[in-house]
Amino acid sequence: MQFIDQARVTVRAGRGGDGIVAFRREKYVPAGGPSGGDGGHGGNVVLEADANLQTLLDFKYKRLFPAVDGRRGGPNRCTGACGPDMVIKVPCGTEVRHLSTGILLGDLTDNGERLVVAFGGRGGLGNAHYLSNRNRAPEKCTEGRDGEEWPLQLELKLLAEVGIIGLPNAGKSTLISVLSAARPKIADYPFTTLVPNLGVVRRPTGDGTVFADIPGLIAGAAQGAGLGHDFLRHIERTRLLIHMVDGGAEDPVADLRVVEQELQAYGHGLVERPRLLVLNKLELIDEAEREEQVKRLEEASGRPVLLTSAAMGQGLDQLLQRVWAELGIDRS
């Protein structure tokens, strides 16, 4: 399935039905009064979060979403039928903004949560509304009003508690594949991961925690270089970051600083987010170099360094223990 996390759509609520001019026409009532009914209200356009959806792919080819108009009024003061609401399903984690102003209308995070994004027009009034002492047979009615129409920007931000970050080829996808049932594409070249991958890791309490592996960052990602700018939004909601550093890199400290600079440049509080620093690919580091690399990374970051080999399954239990501790999850 193609991963689409941004979409532009136009929503158009239904127009209200027209009121009508009508008079009572009954046997033995030769001068019946006005009986024109009101028009029905137009349908609203409603967005609804659906936990079964993972992407905004449905909006790639369909951009206009119109609701149904209200029906015109009827005789005998009958109100026209209201137009049904147009309900549009979106993934949980979708932010909705006015395209022209950028104003945030809502953030749909819970399954079944709804947001009205365009209100239907009111129905027109029938002539029964204009009966008065001075005018016993009004022939006035009003038309229904147009419904609201707005251009919207939809932006999906994944709902994950733990985000896995690092430069390309640091072992992020390998880590999420061994911790969960996720099966991302894994290969020994940069930018293997082109879209975020989600995996559910079983907690000691029995339920699951969602981990997100985002495509590798490079210098300038916050300004749009590489793939990072498009996907950094997906770690905005995380409670904890796992920063993977490639132990086989030429200069792990330089790699560390590149990622930290990109988090700082992107903003949204990412650089202050709780973070675990992981030196991965231990199988590529000589015993003599390992202690020196750990020392340099700790001095550069001010954080303790965890040692793992995701490919060999080493150090993962210790990593998860730290994750659960940071998230405040009881391991007993």
Domain of 15, CATH number, reads 2.70.210.12
Collapsed DSSP state (helix, strand, coil) of residue 125? coil
Q: Is residue 57 part of a domain?
A: yes
Length of the chain: 332
pLDDT tens-place string over residues 41-58: 999 999 999 998 888 988
Q: How many CB atoms lie within 10 A of CB 225?
A: 13
Kind plus residue range of the DSSP H or E element containing 317: helix 316-327
* 311 in Cβ contact with 171 (< 8 Å): yes
- Residue 159 pLDDT greater than 70, yes or no: yes
Residues 144, 172: one domain? no
Residues 214, 315: one domain? yes
Residues 197, 56: one domain? no
Mean of the per-residue pLDDT values of the chain: 87
pLDDT at position 331 is 54
Residues 32, 133: one domain? yes
pLDDT at position 234 is 84
Q: Is residue 332 part of a domain?
A: no
pLDDT at position 21 is 95
pLDDT at position 231 is 74
Residue ending a domain, among 102, 125, 156, is 156
Q: Is residue 168 part of a domain?
A: yes
pLDDT at position 198 is 81
Spell 51-60 as b/e; 16+ CB within 10 A means b. eebbbbeebe
Regarding beta strands 104-108 and 94-98, do their DSSP bridges make them parallel or antiparallel, or are they unpaired?
A: antiparallel
Q: If you search the block for the tokens 């590529």, which residue do you land on?
A: 284
Q: How many CB atoms lie within 10 A of CB 295?
A: 11
Residues 148, 174: one domain? no
Q: For a pLDDT cut of 70, what percent of the chain falls above it? A: 89
CA distance to 115, 251, 268, 280, 287, per residue, from 291 (Å): 54, 15, 34, 13, 7
Residues 71, 114: one domain? yes
Please state the domain count of the chain. Answer: 2
- Residue 218 pLDDT greater than 80, yes or no: no
CATH code, 172 = 3.40.50.300
pLDDT at position 107 is 96
* 89 in Cβ contact with 77 (< 8 Å): no
- Residue 175 pLDDT greater than 70, yes or no: yes
- Residue 252 pLDDT greater than 70, yes or no: yes
- Residue 31 pLDDT greater than 70, yes or no: no
Task: Tell me how far apart the alpha carbons of residues 126 and 162 are, in angstroms, rounded to a whole number.
Answer: 58
Task: Tell me how far apart the alpha carbons of residues 235 and 248 are, in angstroms, rounded to a whole number.
Answer: 26
**Both tokens of residue 69?**
């108009």
Spell 162-183 as b/e; 16+ CB within 10 A means b. bbbbbbbbbbbbbbbbbbbebe
Residues 146, 204: one domain? no
Q: What range does the domain containing 106 cover?
A: 1-156
pLDDT tens-place string over residues 69-84: 999 999 999 999 999 9
Residues 150, 198: one domain? no
Q: Is residue 286 part of a domain?
A: yes
Residue ending a domain, among 156, 189, 209, is 156
Residues 145, 168: one domain? no
pLDDT at position 296 is 93
Residue ending a domain, among 132, 156, 180, is 156
Of 21-25, 96-100, 171-175, the range with the highest mean pLDDT is: 96-100
